[in-house]
Structure formats: structure tokens, C-alpha cells
């Protein structure tokens, strides 16, 4: 291959106490992604450089970090898109464990607070009830593409800048709740939780989550906004609630 000047890869090295950016010189191969560069540095220059990764094919969502300050999957960021200098940092919305590895356990705690898929008693034991048309499952299918990389959680300013993990579940779990709420066979009413502890009201539709999603899920347009509208049906629509009361429901 024609000689290409090596990549200057600066990586955050440190832990919750603090750290510094360390620069590694990495030879460039055609088609190389940032994760390749990080792993090359790990194998050859910094054996203890901590980074999470698994599939290296953008299917598992392990290698979320910030490339030149922007939330990205390292395995899906071609080096060629960036030029000769790249900086890689851990996700800013979560506490650092070490180097590029962050403590994302909060997300798992949130997931536990969302009631699981619950079909109605009648449907559960009736095989005929499980005939579903493609158009009815399509919305849930979009949401279920989520690979839980948590880039949306990282970029969401409610969590990232305001630290309101106490008030808002974050875009990932709006998508999760939408996949349940819009599943044709889920029987639970999730609106009280949405308005309450899930805090859908904290989202102000600035759409950064949708911008960073590597699976191109329309997080805001297809999940959060429809959820806000469903919540509005219940809590912000006096006309509807009057009609409901008149209708005896």
C-alpha cells in the first residue's frame, strides 16, 4: 500500500478520579474503523487500554464512545471519515470505570422498572389471538432494532447536561416503552408511568437522540412524540376526558 501517514489517535486514559489524553501513532489500513485503531494501540502500545467491544459489526452496541467529542459506535466510524487526528473519549453521561469503559448500570436499573410485556389473560392461552398483521407489528419492529448502545442516553441533554437521571428514563427507554405500548398484544396502560417516573415530559424534542442512533430509529418522531400524544390523551385533553366520562368509560 502507498505510504499513508500514521493516525494520531488520542485516547482518554484514566478513571473516575481523572485522567489525561494520551496520543498513539497507529498505522492506517484501508477500511479501518476507529475501533480497529483502538485495538491496534491496545495490542501493540497500551496492553491495559480498557475498551468495551464485542461484535465489531454494529450489532451489539458495546463500543459506544465519543469520537472527536461526538457520541459514536467505534466499530461504525471509519477512520477515513476523520483525517489524521482522532480523539476518543468515554461517554460523558455515565461515570467512567476506566479509560473508554463507563458504568452504564443505571440503564439496567431503569429497564427493571418498566413492566414486562403483558398480554391479556384471554389472549395468553388462545393461539388464534396471535395472528398479527405485518402493519400492526411494524412500529414495534422499528423500536426493537435497538441495540442498547446507549448513545441516545449519552447525548440526551436531560441526562448529559442536567444529570436528571432521577426524573427521566432517557430516550432508550422511551423507545422500549413505545415498543410495549404499541405492541398489539400488550394489555397494560403505560401512560401513568410515562407521565410519572418515566418523565416523558422532560424531553423537549431537541432530537439529538434521533441524530446519533446507529440503527436509525426515529426515536423522537416515532416513539417519544407518539408517547407524549398518548399521555396527552389521558392528562391534557379535557374534551376527551369529558367525552370519556359521558361515555361511561
Partner 1 sequence: MESYETVDTAVLVLGAGGAGLRAAIAAAESGARVTVVCKSLLGKAHTVMAEGGMAAALGNVAGQDSWEAHFADTMKGGKLLNDWRMAEIHAREAPERVLELERWGAVFDRTHEGLIHQRPFGAHTYPRLAHIGDRTGLELIRTLQDRLVHQAGIEVHMEVTVASLFAQDGRIAGALAYRRADGGLVLYRARAVLLATGGAGRVYRVTSNSWECTGDGTALAYRAGAELRDCEMVQFHPTGMVWPAGVRGILVTEGVRGEGGLLRNKDGERFMERYDPDRMELSSRDIVARAINSEVLAGRGSPHGGAYLDISHRKPDYIKRKLPSMYEQFLKLAKVDITKDPMEVAPTIHYYMGGVRVDPETGASSVAGLFAAGEVTGGLHGANRLGGNSLTDLLVFGKRAGEAAAEYSREHSRPARISKAEVGEAVESLVGPLGRPHGENPYRLQAELQDVCSRHAPIIRSESGLLEGLQQVLELRERARSAGTGGPTGRAFNPGWHTAQDLGQMLVNAEALFRSALKRKESRGAHARSDYPNPDPALANVNFVVREVEGAMSVRALVREQLPDALLAVINRSFEKYTPEEKE
Partner 2 sequence: MQTVPSAGPKLARVPVRNPYSALPNWLYPALVAVTLTAFALYSAWVVFGNSGGRFGPYLSPFYSPEITLRLGGFLVPPALWVAWAPLAFRATCYYYRKAYFRSFFWHPRSCAVPEPRSHGSNYRGETGFWALNNLHRFALYAITVQMAFLWFDALAQFYYQGAFRVGLGSLLMIVNVVCLSGYTFGCHALRHLAGGRSDCFSCSRVRFRLWKGVTVLNVRHDRWAWVSLFTVLGTDLYIRLLVLGVLPHAPWA
DSSP secondary structure of 78-115: BGGGT-SEEEEE--TTS-EEETTEE--HHHHHHHHTSP
Closest separation in Å from C-beta 202 to partner 1:
23
Question: In terms of Cα–Cα distance, which of 152, 141, 148, 142 is closest to 61?
Answer: 148
Considering the complex, state which of residue 43 and residue 132 has its C-beta at the smaller distance from partner 2: 132
SS3 of 192-217:
HHHHCCCCHHHCCCCCHHHHHCCCCC
Rounded to an integer, what distance in angstroms lies between the CA atom of residue 104 and that of residue 80?
A: 29
Rounded to an integer, what distance in angstroms lies between the CA atom of residue 37 and that of residue 68?
A: 14
Instruction: Look at strands 96-98 and 101-102 and give their pairing.
Output: antiparallel
Closest separation in Å from C-beta 26 to partner 2:
19
Binding span for partner 2 by CB under 8 A among 22-30, 37-45, 70-78, 117-125: 70-78
Task: Answer left, alpha or beta for residue 6, where phi above 0 means left and psi between -120 and 50 means alpha.
Answer: beta
Rounded to an integer, what distance in angstroms lies between the CA atom of residue 35 and that of residue 12?
A: 14
Distance of CA 214 to the CA centre of its chain: 9
Rounded to an integer, what distance in angstroms lies between the CA atom of residue 219 and that of residue 200?
A: 12
Told to check if 43 binds partner 1 by CB under 8 A, we report yes
Told to check if 6 binds partner 1 by CB under 8 A, we report no
Told to check if 59 binds partner 1 by CB under 8 A, we report yes
> Of partner 1, partner 2, none, which one sits near residue 246, judging by CB under 5 to 8 A according to partner kind?
none
Considering the complex, state which of residue 39 and residue 223 has its C-beta at the smaller distance from partner 2: 223
Told to check if 47 binds partner 1 by CB under 8 A, we report yes
Told to check if 239 binds partner 1 by CB under 8 A, we report no
Q: Which of 8, 23, 42, 87 binds partner 2 (CB under 8 A)?
A: 87
Closest separation in Å from C-beta 126 to partner 2:
16
Told to check if 191 binds partner 2 by CB under 8 A, we report no
Residue 30-59 contact track with partner 2, rule CB under 8 A, x = bound:
------------------------------
Kindly identify the residues of this chain, within the stretch 128-167, that bind partner 1 according to CB under 8 A: 130-134, 137, 140-141, 144-148
Task: Answer left, alpha or beta for residue 102, where phi above 0 means left and psi between -120 and 50 means alpha.
Answer: beta
Told to check if 78 binds partner 1 by CB under 8 A, we report yes
Residues at the contact surface with partner 1, assessed by CB under 8 A: 15, 29-33, 36, 42-44, 47-62, 76, 78, 97-99, 101, 103-105, 108, 111-112, 115-117, 119, 124, 127, 130-134, 137, 140-141, 144-148, 180, 183, 186, 216
Amino acid at each position: 500500500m502507498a505510504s499513508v501517514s500514521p493516525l494520531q489517535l488520542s485516547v482518554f486514559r484514566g478513571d473516575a478520579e481523572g485522567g489525561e489524553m494520551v496520543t498513539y501513532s497507529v498505522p492506517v489500513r484501508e477500511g479501518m474503523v476507529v475501533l480497529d485503531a483502538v485495538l491496534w494501540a491496545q495490542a501493540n502500545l497500551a496492553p491495559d487500554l480498557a475498551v468495551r467491544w464485542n461484535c465489531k459489526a454494529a450489532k451489539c452496541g458495546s463500543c459506544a464512545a465519543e469520537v472527536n467529542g461526538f457520541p459514536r459506535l467505534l466499530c461504525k466510524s471509519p477512520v477515513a471519515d476523520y483525517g489524521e487526528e482522532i480523539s476518543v473519549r468515554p461517554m460523558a453521561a455515565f461515570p467512567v470505570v476506566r479509560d473508554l469503559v463507563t458504568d452504564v448500570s443505571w440503564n439496567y436499573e431503569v429497564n427493571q422498572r418498566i413492566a414486562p410485556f403483558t398480554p391479556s389473560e384471554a389472549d395468553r392461552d388462545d393461539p388464534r389471538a396471535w395472528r398479527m398483521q405485518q402493519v400492526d407489528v411494524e412500529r414495534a419492529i422499528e423500536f426493537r432494532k435497538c441495540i442498547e448502545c446507549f448513545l441516545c442516553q449519552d447525548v440526551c441533554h436531560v441526562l448529559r447536561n442536567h444529570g436528571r437521571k432521577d426524573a427521566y428514563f432517557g430516550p432508550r427507554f422511551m423507545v422500549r416503552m413505545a415498543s410495549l405500548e404499541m405492541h398489539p398484544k400488550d394489555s397494560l396502560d403505560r401512560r401513568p408511568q410515562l407521565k410519572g417516573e418515566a418523565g416523558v415530559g422532560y424531553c423537549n424534542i431537541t432530537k439529538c437522540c434521533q441524530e446519533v442512533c446507529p440503527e436509525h430509529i426515529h426515536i423522537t418522531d416515532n416513539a417519544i412524540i407518539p408517547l407524549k400524544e398518548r399521555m396527552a390523551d389521558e392528562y391534557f385533553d379535557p374534551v376527551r376526558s369529558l367525552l370519556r366520562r359521558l361515555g361511561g368509560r
